[in-house]
Amino acid sequence: MIDRALMALAAHGVGKYYPLAPSWIGTLLFPRGEAALATATSGGFWVLRGVDFALAHGQSLGVIGRNGAGKSTLLRILAGVALPTEGRVETRARLACLLDLGVGFHSLETGRDNAETTLILQAGLSRREARRRLPEIEEFADIGAFFTRPIRTYSDGMRLRLAFATITVLEPEVLVTDEILAVGDEAFQQRCNAWFDRFLGRGGGLVLCSHD
């Protein structure tokens, strides 16, 4: 049992239940096939049930499971994007999330404007301070003129670069992510790995989901 004073993130009996829906709705709700692999119950199914863990500051947690096992649903619940049907999540640290590409971005706004909004909403920075930090994001993302173009014109790799670059300025204590970093090119992955080394070296925590 982790001392509460040291706890950064915890799940207490977390479960997620979805009622059965017409197939076209199910396709929208479960693009990764979780519905097909979930345990069926009367009128619906549990994607997750009885998830418990406690993560102390500076610790990392790996969540491994086959495709459709509910990993993405768990990450969304930890991130606050989805609510659990039962149980609760306890967050006692600055949390940042890097999930599906483009989540949290407005496709009609520029990369610059999206980054600024993220810093204001998630880091609590003033508009003036957020704008002062934008050059750091632009340099790390290294997407050239696209930084001032709408997100809808971005490739997956560009979205990833912008999202990760923004995370580096948010300075989280715990990062929740999946395997989307595989989208980046080799040079960008090396830059991300160097940031991860610094992040973990200074006591950052990581929750990482993988299928192997």
Residue 180 pLDDT grade (very low, low, confident, very high; cuts 50, 70, 90): low
Q: Cα–Cα distance between 31 and 106 in angstroms, integer?
A: 20
- Could you tell me the two tokens for 99? 């999930």
**Cβ pair 78, 178 in contact under 8 A:** no
Q: In angstroms, how far is CA 199 from the centroid of its own chain?
A: 16
Strands 205-210 and 174-177 turn out to be parallel
Rounding to the nearest 10 degrees, give the CA dihedral for residues 91, 94, 98, 99: 20
Q: Supply the pLDDT for residue 198.
A: 93
**Cβ pair 114, 120 in contact under 8 A:** no
Q: Cα–Cα distance between 195 and 141 in angstroms, integer?
A: 13
Q: Degrees (nearest 5) of the Cα angle 204, 209, 210?
A: 130
Q: Supply the pLDDT for residue 59.
A: 93
| DSSP SS3 for 143 | coil
- Could you tell me the two tokens for 161? 């670069």
Residue 71 burial (CB count, 10 A): 23
**127-154 confidence digits (pLDDT tens):** 999 999 999 999 999 999 999 999 999 9
**53-73 confidence digits (pLDDT tens):** 999 999 999 988 888 788 889
Reported pTM: 0.78
- Pure H helices in the chain: 23-29, 34-37, 71-79, 111-123, 127-141, 156-170, 186-201
Distances (CA, A) of 91 to 80, 88, 209: 10, 10, 18
Task: Give yes or no for residue 24 having a pLDDT over 90.
Answer: no
